[in-house]
Amino acid sequence: MATIEAAVRTMLIDGNELSANGIDVPDSRVTHGYRLQSTALPAVTYEVSNQATSDVARGIMQGELAVTGIAETSIDAATIGDAIDTALDTGTFSGIVIDAIVITSKTLAPPTVGLGDEQEPATVTVNATIYWRP
């Protein structure tokens, strides 16, 4: 039986949104939870938290979805954020029906100085409430 996490990954890589506008995020760089610091950029991570039965309708689940785009520059991260907005879609993915996605916020964070002289990448995080039928 598929999980909502598998369905979200399929939804994100299903179209070509993450490869459009000159920002190429290969399917292998769309990962659940985290990205290893030494892996190539750009990348996308996602997580579904606070999963519960919805009050909206019987048999509907809901959760909080956070999708983070990671890139070397703020402009590239913002472009990935727009692609994430477009990729978040309703339909059937990995056997799970996603009925609705309500984007609640989008936050862009510029690159920052990391440990030593290393630069931490820019990120954009799209937060949404997701409703699905398992």
Regarding beta strands 30-32 and 43-53, do their DSSP bridges make them parallel or antiparallel, or are they unpaired?
A: parallel
Q: What is the pLDDT of residue 1?
A: 64
**Token couple for 83:** 């692609």
Sole residue written with tokens 């996603």: 98
Query: What CATH number does domain 4-133 carry, 3.90.1820.10, 3.30.70.1700, 3.30.365.10, 3.20.20.210?
Result: 3.30.70.1700
Q: Is the whole-model pTM more than 0.75?
A: yes
Sole residue written with tokens 């985290």: 34
Q: What is the pLDDT of residue 89?
A: 95
CA-wise closest residue to 69 among 59, 58, 81: 81
Q: What is the pLDDT of residue 42?
A: 94
Q: What is the pLDDT of residue 21?
A: 65
- Parse the chain into domains and list their residue ranges: 4-133
Sole residue written with tokens 């990671």: 70
Sole residue written with tokens 């630069």: 119
Residues in contact with 51: Cβ distance below 8 Å, sequence separation at least 6, in sequence order: 4, 61, 62, 63
Over its length of 134 residues, how does the chain's per-residue pLDDT go in tens digits? 689 999 999 999 998 788 876 778 999 999 999 887 778 899 999 999 999 998 777 889 999 999 999 999 999 999 999 999 999 999 999 999 999 999 999 999 998 876 666 778 999 999 999 999 98
Q: What is the pLDDT of residue 18?
A: 87
